[in-house]
Amino acid sequence: MIENRPITTFVSHSVLIIGVALIVFPIWIMIVASTHDALRLTQVPLPLLPGDQLWTNLKSLFEEKDFGTPIHLTVFNSLVMALMISVGKISISVLSAFAIVYFKFRFRMFFFWMIFITLMLPVEVRILPTYEVVANFNMLDSYWGLSIPLIASATATFMFRQTFLTIPDELMEASRIDGASPMRFFFDVVIPMSRTNIAALFVILFIYGWNQYLWPLLITTDPDMYTAVMSIKQMLESGEGEPQWHLIMLTALIAMLPPILVVIFMQKVFVKGLTDSEK
Amino acid sequence: MSTIKIEQIKKSYESTQVIHGIDIEINHGEFIVLVGPSGCGKSTLLRMVAGLETITEGIVKIDDEVVNDLEPKDRGIAMVFQNYALYPHMSVYDNMAYGLKLMKLPKAEIEERVQQVAELLQIEDFLERRPSNLSGGQRQRVAMGRAIVRKPKVFLFDEPLSNLDAKLRVQMRMQIKTLQRNLNVTTIYVTHDQVEAMTMADRLVVLKDGVAAQIGTPMEIYDNPLTQFVAGFIGSPAMNFIDCEVTDQHILIAGQTLTRPAHITVRGKLVLGVRPEHFIESQSVGLQGKVEMIEKLGASILLYVSCENNPQPIVIQCDNNENIKIGDSHNMVFDLQKMYFFDPDSQQRVS
């Protein structure tokens, strides 16, 4: 259907522009705020144009502060946590989906449904028992403690199961005749054929891991283990003085960057993984 | 030398039995075609020989070695699948080399073997391409190449031509047959297409409902079908079946009375089977009917002649004849030597 009605074009464009503005404006404010000094941000009206304090603010973020951990440490912690979660989630779920799809064992469907049911239980529901377990394993204030409880993933298992079901059985049979063991088949055929799905899932899981807030907040007490996202909150509550808005905004800005980079660089595979598959 | 022996093989899925004890003995270099309607168990039988399906009962021997419990790769077989089952993420070369790599052959030998087979099949120009960039016929040849490079004792084909268009199918049919003869490898080939079966097979196994209805060379089966099913399944266009009653003097057929030819010794209510190509031009009195439809095939035509009291029109193949019109009455004379009688209850041939 091709339509060429100016009013429709005008309306639809306005709607889109308003939508974009609603999303972009807060981000713009954030960028602007991060380039001014503390004093300017307490005055009304708030600045709408960038200032010249970006470099100074950035420098103070990297120095040890009485109100928080230096930003490079928190970003590094976040990065480690997000990578451990996404890599761990993918490896475990891809293997369990492989088991469920390609092997016949007793209670196969039972296990599948067990995994599936956990979809309905978010981290927050099981947070107390999980904390107990992690504490007993002495994993508080460690990267393992940050990532392991978040690694098991029903969503990813389910998604990989669906992907594997679309791989024709004949491929498995052909590889059996070629003499491939199940794990050879897994690495030589299944993994390469689901690589776009893996990439797409990686993007989603990385952002999921990066944005974790409640869990890191609970199990880290050592400031050296704080993650970027939770450090923002820490800065808000810190001390008796006024919140350092310019620094908070800059931290938020920096915390946003890695997910954005991941999305930009993996966008092609990401879209391909979610839409088509060359089968 | 590689022979296959299938002895009293049976297959059940839970409580339903799909194969009811089949015996086949296959000589070295033979091209055996398993043919039958869908659901007759022909693919299951092939897959049991391949080792992709467990054997419920019975024995499969390759070269006098029982292979029931061997993995597919240890049976010395290679298989071509209906949808080719090429690895989509590998190049043609890698597809063919994959099995050899897993056999841990030296790289130089793999390359030599693949190159050789690629030349044989004329696919050496696209060894670097992915299967998705190939046409159906090319994919088919790659699938065959993957089977040939393994230098197997036995080739197994599971309806390999059914995804090709009619013309290509005829071409590939000849190629596969020639290739098999040159390589002299024992072959089991599954198809539901009786033309493929007739043209390619050294021996045919006609399967029905998990039972081998008849085993023999194509011409044996064409000339001497043992049951009504086999008679109807082999031969194209299919054989006509007409209810009749043979008495001492007459044959009562479709409400008409014909004189009983002297050599017909059977008596009673029977089913007469006559192939469309076994009617003759003759002045003698035959079965009378009315031409209902004419199909022109070019060199010959098919007449669909209806008789009163006979539910199915009778199909007759005769030379192209412009004089025959729809609605004409037609005198059908049987070739007396080519009349088959079947028992209506047991479906067995009587003579």
Task: Sketch the domain layout of chain B as residue ranges.
Answer: 4-233, 240-350
d(CA B232, CA B196): 16
User: Whole-angstrom Cα distance, residue A145 to residue B243?
Assistant: 83
Residue A124 placed within a domain:
yes
Phi, psi of B249 (to 5 degrees): -100, -35
Question: For the residues B318-324, what does the mean pLDDT come to?
Answer: 83
Task: Look at residue A48 and tell me whether its pLDDT is greater than 90.
Answer: no
pLDDT band at A140 (very low <50, low <70, confident <90, very high): confident
**pLDDT band at residue A46 under the 50/70/90 scheme:** confident
d(CA A84, CA B188): 51
In a domain, A66, yes or no: no
Interface test mutation site (partner A, options B44, B62, B87, max chain A beta carbons within 10 A): B87
Class in CATH terms, B4-233: alpha beta
Sign of the four-CA dihedral A61, A64, A65, A69: positive
Q: What percent of chain A has pLDDT over 70?
A: 93
In this complex, is the C-beta atom of B320 within 8 Å of any C-beta atom belonging to chain A? Answer: no
Q: Categorize the per-residue pLDDT at A153 as very low, low, confident or very high, splitting at 50, 70 and 90.
A: confident
Pairing of strands B154-158, B77-80: parallel
Which B positions 4-23 lie with beta carbon below 8 A of chain A?
none
Question: Does A44 score more than 90 pLDDT?
Answer: no
Beta-carbon contacts of B246 under 8 Å, excluding residues fewer than 6 positions away, are B252, B260, B264, B266, B267, B268, B270, B341
Contacts for B208 with CB less than 8 Å, ≥ 6 apart: B36, B37, B40, B229, B230, B233
pLDDT of residue A279: 44
Task: Judge whether A212 lies within some domain.
Answer: yes
CA A166 – CA B45 distance, rounded (Å): 26
DSSP-derived letter for residue B54 is -
Which residue of B lies nearest to A192 if distances are taken between CA atoms? B89
Query: Model confidence over B32-60: pLDDT tens digits?
Result: 999 999 888 999 999 999 999 999 999 99
A178 interaction partners in chain B (CB closer than 8 Å): 73, 98-99, 102, 146, 150
B283 sits in the region (left: phi over 0; alpha: psi -120 to 50; else beta) called alpha
The CA distance from B23 to B59, in Å, is 9
Counted residue by residue, chain B has a size of 351
Q: Do A279 and B78 touch (CB under 8 A)?
A: no
Contact predicate B26/B186, CB 8 Å: yes
Q: What pLDDT, in 10s, does the model give residues A202-226?
A: 888 999 899 888 888 888 888 888 8
d(CA B351, CA B340): 8
- Going by pLDDT thresholds of 50, 70 and 90, the confidence category of residue A33 is confident
The H or E element containing residue B12 is strand B4-13
Q: Is B215 left (phi over 0), alpha (psi -120 to 50) or beta?
A: beta
Q: Position B88: which residue type? A: P
- What pTM does this model have? 0.81
- Average predicted confidence (pLDDT) for chain A: 85
pLDDT band at A64 (very low <50, low <70, confident <90, very high): low
Residue A252 has pLDDT above 60, yes or no: yes
Min distance A105 CA to chain B CA atoms (Å): 16
* B134/A3: higher pLDDT: B134
Distance CA B74, CA A178 (A): 10
Instruction: Return the structure tokens found at B38.
Output: 């869908």
Residue type, A7: I
3-state secondary structure of B44: helix
B window 92-131, beta carbon within 8 A of A: 98-99, 102-103
Shortest Cα distance from A278 to chain B (angstroms)?
A: 8
Tell me: pLDDT of A105 over 80.
yes
Determine the angle formed by the axes of helices B92-102 and B107-121, rounding to 10 degrees.
130
Report strand pairing: B31-35 vs B203-208: parallel
Question: Which region holds residue B54: left if phi is over 0, alpha if psi is between -120 and 50, else beta?
Answer: beta
Which among B67, B81, B158 is the top mutation candidate for probing chain A, defined by the most A β-carbons within 10 Å of its own β-carbon?
B81
Residue A138, φ and ψ in degrees, nearest 5: 60, 40
| Average pLDDT along chain B | 90
Does position A230 have pLDDT exceeding 70, yes or no?
Answer: yes
Does A189 sit within 8 Å of B89, measured CB to CB? yes
Question: Which residue from B229, B287, B227 is spatially nearest to B255, judged by alpha carbons?
Answer: B287
Task: Report whether A57 contacts A250 (CB < 8 A).
Answer: yes
Confidence band, pLDDT 50/70/90 cuts, at residue B325 = confident
Amino acid at A87: V
Within-domain flag for A221: yes
B161: its two tokens: 């031509």
Determine the residue type at B130. R
Q: Is residue A188 part of a domain?
A: yes
User: Is the pLDDT score of A171 beyond 70?
Assistant: yes
In this structure, what are the phi and psi dihedrals at residue B114, rounded to the nearest 5 degrees?
Answer: -60, -45
Report the C-alpha gap between B34 and B14 in whole angstroms.
Answer: 24
- The token pair that represents B180 in the structure block: 């098999």
Residue A278 has pLDDT above 70, yes or no: no
- What per-residue confidence (pLDDT) applies to A250? 86
Structural domain tally of chain A?
1
What's the token pair of residue A24?
């972009």
pLDDT of residue A11: 93
- Give chain B positions within 8 Å (CB) of A191: none
- Return the CATH number at A109: 1.10.3720.10
Q: How far apart are CA B116 and CA B100, in angstroms?
A: 14
- pLDDT tier at A67, thresholds 50, 70, 90: low
- pLDDT at position A238 is 63
The pLDDT assigned to B142 comes to 93
Domain of A200, in residue numbers: 71-274
B188, amino acid identity: I
The token pair at B257 is 């009375």
Q: Name the token pair of A100.
A: 């469920």
The stretch A152-172 carries a mean pLDDT of 88
- What local confidence, expressed as pLDDT, does residue B146 receive? 93
Q: Which fold has domain B240-350?
A: OB fold (Dihydrolipoamide Acetyltransferase, E2P) (2.40.50)
Q: Does position A147 have pLDDT exceeding 80, yes or no? A: yes
Sheet containing B300-306, strands listed edge to edge, beginning at the edge strand earlier in sequence: B279-280, B329-334, B287-296, B300-306, B314-319
Over 90: is that where the pLDDT of A125 sits?
no
Beta bridge partners, B66, equal B61
Is residue B190 within 8 A of residue B157, CB to CB? The reply is yes
With a CB cutoff of 8 Å and minimum separation 6, the contacts of B175 are: none
State residue A37's pLDDT score.
Answer: 82
Burial label for B300, CB within 10 Å (0-12, 13-18, 19+), is middle
Residue at A224 is within a domain: yes
Integer Cα distance of B88 and A118 in angstroms:
34
User: Is the peptide bond prior to B88 cis by the omega test (within 30 degrees of 0)?
Assistant: no
Cis amide leading into A259 (omega within 30): no
